[in-house]
Chain A
Amino acid sequence: MNIAVCVKQVIDTEAEKKLDPASWRLDRNVTCILNPYDEYAVEEALRIKEAHGGEVTAVCMGPKKAEDAVRKALAMGADKGVIVTDDALAGSDAQATAYVLAEALKGVEWDLVIFGVRSTDGETGCVPAAVAERLGVPLLSTLAKVEVQGSNISVHRETEQGYVAYECPTPAVISVIKGINEPRYPSMKGIMGAKKKPIDAKDASALSLDTSQVGQSGSKTRVLSARTPEPRKAGEKIEDDGTGAQKIVEFLASQKLV
C-alpha cells in the first residue's frame, strides 16, 4: 500500500511566537521542528509499509526551510519527499493550504493519505477533512488504531466514551492521534541516508495552482488584529499548615464555585 504522509514544519513550542504587525504573518525565523503530531503519522505510515510493503512519500507545503521537516520524515524511514514552496503561498489559511496539498497529492501515488490530527501552531485540525473533500475520498479522523487488510483499512476513532470501529476501502484520508504508536527516533544511518533520498520541490506553476485561491490574498479569512492577552497574574499562595483543603474550599466559595 502506497502512503502519502502530509507533514508540516512548526515553530518550537518554547520559541516566542511573534506576528508581524504589517502582514499578521508568523515570524518563522526561530527554531522550527516537525509538527509533533506528524511524527505519529509518519510512524504509522512506516509500520504499514513494513507490514504490507509499498512506498511512503512525505508531502509538505512551506517555506524553503520546511525541507528540514521532510528530511526528518525521510530520516525516520519515508522513501521520498515532495515540498511545495512558493512566495505566493505565504499566508495561506487552512482552506487554501488544503487546496495546495490536494493538488500536490494528485501528483503522488497513494492509496492512503495520513495526517497528524492537527498542527501545534495553526491548531485548526481542519486540513485533513478539507483535503478529503477536495479529493472526493472518504475521511476518518482522530484515529487511535489503524489496520490494513488488503485494500481496506479497519480503524478505531476515538470518542469521549471509548471508540467507534470503522472499515473503509482505500483510497482514503485519515488523521491519527498521539498514542496510536511510539514514533521512532531517526537512527544515524537513517539521518545519513535521508540526505540521498529524493525531494521533489514544486512551485505554484509546477502544480498549475490557481494563485487567486492561495496565499494571504487568496485566503477567504483574514486577520484584522492580534494582541497579547493580559498575562494571568499570580493570585494568593499559601503554605499548607494542615488547613490547606479548608482554605481552598473558602476560596472556591468566595468565587461561588462550590
Chain B
Amino acid sequence: MSNQSGILVVAEPKDGKLANVTLESITQARALAGGPVSVVVAAAETAPYVAAAGRYGADRVYVVESPEAAVFRPGPFIDVVAAAVAAAEPALILCAGSPDGRDIAAGCAARLGAGLLVDITGLEAKDDGFVTTHPCFGGTVIVDKDATSTPVVATVRPNVFAREEAPKEPEVVNLSVDFAPAGLLAKVLDVVCENLGIVSLEEASVIVAGGRGVGKAENFKLIEELASELGAAVGASRAIVDEGWVPHQIQVGQTGKTVSPQLYIACGISGAIQHAAGMRTAKNIVAINRDPEAAIFNFADYGVVGDLLTIVPALTEEIRKRKAAS
C-alpha cells in the first residue's frame, strides 16, 4: 500500500535531557519494529539529546541545531518535524503527550493531512498500520482507535510505557530546514524559571496530593515535605486551588492535569468524580481521609481513616527513617 515504514519519535528536549516520555516512546517503538526507529531533535545544542536517543536504541537521529529552536515555538518545531517526516517517510510519528508535543502533533497532522491519535496508552502493530488505546471521559471509557491512512501522528501519555536502555551508535543526519515566516513571528522575550528542581506532575512516578482536608494553606507544607522525602511531585484538588492555597499548575483532575503515576497518595481529598478523572489510572492509590465515607476509599488500594495532620508528618518521618536505615 505505501512504502512508509518505521516510526519517528519527536524528541522533547528538557534541560539537557530527553523527557521520559520520549525515552518511553523510543522503547515502545523498538518493540514494534517493522522498520527503523528514528528520532528527530531540534535545539540550540543537540549533542546530549543525540547521545540519549542512542542509549535508548534509536537507529537514526535527525538533528536540527539552530538558535531558532532554543526555546519552544510551535511553528519552527512543526517545520522541523515535517522535514524529518519527508526524510524518514515513517508510518507513525510519536510526539510527547505534553503541551509542546500536542502543538507539534496537531500542527503536523494538519500540515500532512494525517490522522491524529491523542493521548495513547497502548500501541500495537497490525497488518497495515497501528491500533492505539486511549482512555477518554476521565478514564471511564477505554477506546481502541486506528487511522485510515498513513502516516499517522500520535501523542503518547507519559509514564505508561516502560523505558529501557538498548545502547547503539545511531546514524546522525543533519537536516537543514527553512523555517516558515509565520511561525517565526512569535518572539521569545524571556524564559522564567520560578520553581527550579520541581518534579513534573505528568512525568512523576510518585505524587503526593492534598485537598481540603489539609485545613488551611499553611498546612500544605506537610504535603510538600512528604513529597520531598519521596522524591515525588506535588498535586492538589480543585477545592484548594480555588481557595488560592496553591497554584493551579498543580491541580489534578478534570480542569487540571491528568496523571498516571506508580503511586498516588491522596491526603484529605474526598475523591469527587472531577478529581478521579485526573488520577484514576494511577497504578496504586493510597488515601488518607478523616471521613470514612469519602468516595476516595471506594477506589483506593489502601485507605487510612484518620487525621492527615498527624499521619502525614508521621509518614514523612517513617520514610526518612527507612531511607536512613537502608
Q: Across the interface, do A240 and B146 meet the contact criterion of CB distance under 8 Å?
A: no
Q: Enumerate chain A residues within 8 angstroms of B147, measured Cβ to Cβ.
A: 220-222
Q: Across the interface, do A257 and B322 meet the contact criterion of CB distance under 8 Å?
A: no
Q: Across the interface, do B273 and A14 meet the contact criterion of CB distance under 8 Å?
A: yes
A-side interface residues, number (CB < 8 Å): 81
Q: Across the interface, do A239 and B306 meet the contact criterion of CB distance under 8 Å?
A: yes
Taking residues whose C-beta sits less than 8 angstroms from the other chain, chain B's interface range is: 35 or more
Q: Tell whether A134 pairs with B110 under 8 Å between CB atoms, given A221-B115, A248-B315.
A: yes
A229: Cβ under 8 A from any B Cβ: yes
Q: How far is the CA of A2 from the CA of B274 in the complex (A)?
A: 34
A17: Cβ under 8 A from any B Cβ: yes
Q: Across the interface, do A139 and B75 meet the contact criterion of CB distance under 8 Å?
A: yes
Q: Across the interface, do B192 and A95 meet the contact criterion of CB distance under 8 Å?
A: no
B64 to chain A, nearest CB (A): 19
Q: Enumerate chain B residues within 8 angstroms of A124, measured Cβ to Cβ.
A: 102, 106, 116, 118-119
Chain A residue nearest to B314 in the complex (CB): A245
| B115-168 contacts to A (CB < 8 Å) | 115-119, 131, 135-149, 152, 155
| A126-158 contacts to B (CB < 8 Å) | 126-130, 132-134, 136-142, 154, 157-158
B190: Cβ under 8 A from any A Cβ: yes
Q: Across the interface, do B110 and A133 meet the contact criterion of CB distance under 8 Å?
A: yes
| B279-326 contacts to A (CB < 8 Å) | 280, 284-286, 288, 292, 297-307, 310-312, 314-315, 317-319, 322
B50: Cβ under 8 A from any A Cβ: no
Q: Across the interface, do A240 and B304 meet the contact criterion of CB distance under 8 Å?
A: yes
Q: Across the interface, do B186 and A257 meet the contact criterion of CB distance under 8 Å?
A: no
B99: Cβ under 8 A from any A Cβ: yes
B105: Cβ under 8 A from any A Cβ: yes
B262: Cβ under 8 A from any A Cβ: yes
Contact with B along A35-48 (1 / 0, CB 8 A): 01100000000000
Q: Enumerate chain B residues within 8 angstroms of A248, measured Cβ to Cβ.
A: 265, 286, 288, 302, 304, 311, 315, 318
Q: Enumerate chain A residues within 8 angstroms of B173, measured Cβ to Cβ.
A: none
A198: Cβ under 8 A from any B Cβ: no
Q: Enumerate chain B residues within 8 angstroms of A129, measured Cβ to Cβ.
A: 74, 102-107, 110
Q: Across the interface, do B116 and A158 meet the contact criterion of CB distance under 8 Å?
A: no
Q: Which of B111, B143, B255, B300 contacts A36 (CB 8 A)?
A: B255
The stretch of B2-10, B24-32, B54-62, B194-202 in contact with A is B194-202
The stretch of A49-57, A106-114, A163-171 in contact with B is A163-171
Q: Across the interface, do A161 and B106 meet the contact criterion of CB distance under 8 Å?
A: no
Name the residue in B110, B152, B258 with the highest tally of chain A Cβ atoms < 10 Å from its Cβ.
B110
Q: Enumerate chain B residues within 8 angstroms of A126, measured Cβ to Cβ.
A: 102, 105-106, 109, 116, 118, 155
Chain B residue nearest to A161 in the complex (CB): B193
Q: Across the interface, do B315 and A166 meet the contact criterion of CB distance under 8 Å?
A: no
Q: Enumerate chain A residues within 8 angstroms of B251, measured Cβ to Cβ.
A: 178
Q: Across the interface, do B305 and A162 meet the contact criterion of CB distance under 8 Å?
A: no
Q: Enumerate chain B residues within 8 angstroms of A125, measured Cβ to Cβ.
A: 99, 102, 118
Q: How far is the CA of A244 from the CA of B251 in the complex (A)?
A: 26
Q: Tell whether A132 pairs with B107 under 8 Å between CB atoms, given A162-B194, A220-B149, A249-B318.
A: yes
Instruction: Using A17-B137, A221-B117, A221-B146 as known contacts, list a sample of 5 further A-B pairs with CB atoms less than 8 Å apart, ordered by residue number in A.
Output: A139-B107, A167-B189, A226-B144, A229-B140, A237-B292
Q: Which of A's residues lie within 8 Å of B, judged by CB?
A: 13-14, 17, 19, 24, 36-37, 93-95, 98, 120-130, 132-134, 136-142, 154, 157-158, 160-169, 172, 177-179, 219-229, 231-240, 244-249, 251-252, 255, 257-258
